[in-house]
Amino acid sequence: MVRAPPGPDRPGQVRVYTTNPGKVREIRALLEPRGIRVAWSRRRLVEIQGDSLEEVARSKLNSVSPRPGELSLVEDSGLFIHSLGGFPGVYSAYAYRTLGLAGVLRLVRGRDRSATFRCVVGVRQGPEVLLARGAVTGSLARTARGTLGFGFDPIFIPRGCSESFAEMPADVKNRYSHRGRAFRALLRALPAAFP
């Protein structure tokens, strides 16, 4: 099995593979207070056209070569709009690049606006892989709101909140977000998975 990052007296390190600096900021905020250093490899990984976020995350992990003493880490997220049959889901990055926020909002005009943001985070050391999941339900705003965050953050309002993710300071967003929940699940799973 993969070894867990050492405890706070000997911080471990994970290497995050992504081209998204916003994700790296959030990951650092979630892991570094727990004594886990975060190194960043700004590298675009091939994203297969899989049927699930788990499949995409596993594929990404298989495309990197772990460095000695580090865990490789990837993350894949998707916005699943209920009235669109879960679209864009695993195609969220593509939908964001091609349709943008305004295009997605046009698709839900006159429809139910409920949605779920999902995240799968995976770590790998050698051949061993651990995946953790997080999700948050909410609804789509009528217009983009806020300048914080990235991606679909300006149009997603988590259930029980009045602000979009892009209107929330990072520490507040991490409390509610799919990514925050996935990383908290990962941190809970590490000690049991890697005795």
| Per-residue pLDDT tens over the stretch 3-40 | 444 443 334 788 999 988 989 999 999 999 988 899 99
- 59-68 as b/e: b if 16+ CB within 10 A: bbbeebebee
- pLDDT tens per residue, range 78-129: 999 999 999 999 999 999 999 999 999 999 999 999 999 999 999 987 778 8
Q: Could you tell me the CA-to-CA distances from 172 to 30, 143, 149, 164 in Å, in that order?
A: 12, 21, 11, 11
pLDDT tens digits, 116-141 = 999 999 998 777 889 999 999 999 99
Return all residues near 23 (Cβ < 8 A) that are at least 6 apart: 16, 75, 150, 179
* Domains in the chain: boundaries: 12-193
- pLDDT, residue 3, reads 41
Amino acid at 127: P
Q: Residue 194: what are its φ and ψ, rounded to 5°?
A: -125, 75
Element at 170 (helix H, strand E): helix 170-176
Encoding tokens for residue 144? 């983009």
Q: What is the CATH number of domain 12-193?
A: 3.90.950.10
Which residues are tagged catalytic?
A: 76
